[in-house]
A and B are shown apart, each in its own frame.
Chain A
Amino acid sequence: EDQVTQSPEALRLQEGESSSLNCSYTVSGLRGLFWYRQDPGKGPEFLFTLYSAGEEKEKERLKATLTKKESFLHITAPKPEDSATYLCAVGGYGGATNKLIFGTGTLLAVQP
């Protein structure tokens, strides 16, 4: 059964203190790995899609990387507005590729 595990569950950083969030997965053939950001009371906001081991994507202070077993979301010099829950998801198997399996998220708090 496909599983997605995110760590840590919560992370508190000082403004400017870089760090990484981890998403490990066990799937029988990766169909796509997705990162989302979710603010309280809102829907997830798309950040990145990764398909192949070795792939990297960047957007402002965020960089997502992918290996055969895990993905990292690197946050460089974070600002308070980066505070949110970061969700990782993988696509389902076979004909269910649009069935996303989500991890439980990492709650990030960036203090000024």
Chain B
Amino acid sequence: KAGVTQTPRYLIKTRGQQVTLSCSPISGHRSVSWYQQTPGQGLQFLFEYFSETQRNKGNFPGRFSGRQFSNSRSEMNVSTLELGDSALYLCASSYGSRIGGSETQYFGPGTRLLVL
């Protein structure tokens, strides 16, 4: 089974621009979560999408948004980029159907974003 894929793998943008990152989950997985990883803050949860609906959200400003399509593919968008948005953005997928407990999430290779 193919793993989680993310595109693009690397991006360089300038302050004030916006960016869109894409994630394709493992086949059959309906939950997609996004995380930001930086050396200072580690891995932090951005949001989770399930069946095209945002199910959970982390403590990030409204400049960070996402969506999910009917085939479970997801995109995240960051508007008005700031220098501090430079990070590795990771997408993770799971079935999304476990009741009463957390599911194992499988991560993609990430998109490395550099904001100049």
Is the CB of B16 closer than 8 A to any CB of chain A?
no
What 0/1 pattern do residues 103 to 116 of B give for CB contact below 8 A with A?
11111111010000
Which partner residue on chain B sits nearest A51 by CB separation?
Answer: B101
**Main DSSP-derived SS at the B contact region:** strand
Whether A104 lies near B42 (C-beta < 8 A) is: yes
| A-B contacts, CB under 8 A, total | 76
For the complex formed, measure the closest distance between the CB of A79 and the CB atoms of chain B, giving whole angstroms: 23
**Which residues of B lie under 8 Å from residue A24 when comparing CB positions?**
none
How many chain A residues touch B (Cβ–Cβ < 8 Å)?
28
Whether B90 lies near A43 (C-beta < 8 A) is: yes
Is the CB of A99 closer than 8 A to any CB of chain B?
yes
Which partner residue on chain B sits nearest A101 by CB separation?
Answer: B45
8 residue pairs, one from A and one from B, having the closest CB atoms: A91-B102, A32-B102, A43-B107, A102-B43, A97-B102, A31-B102, A96-B56, A44-B107
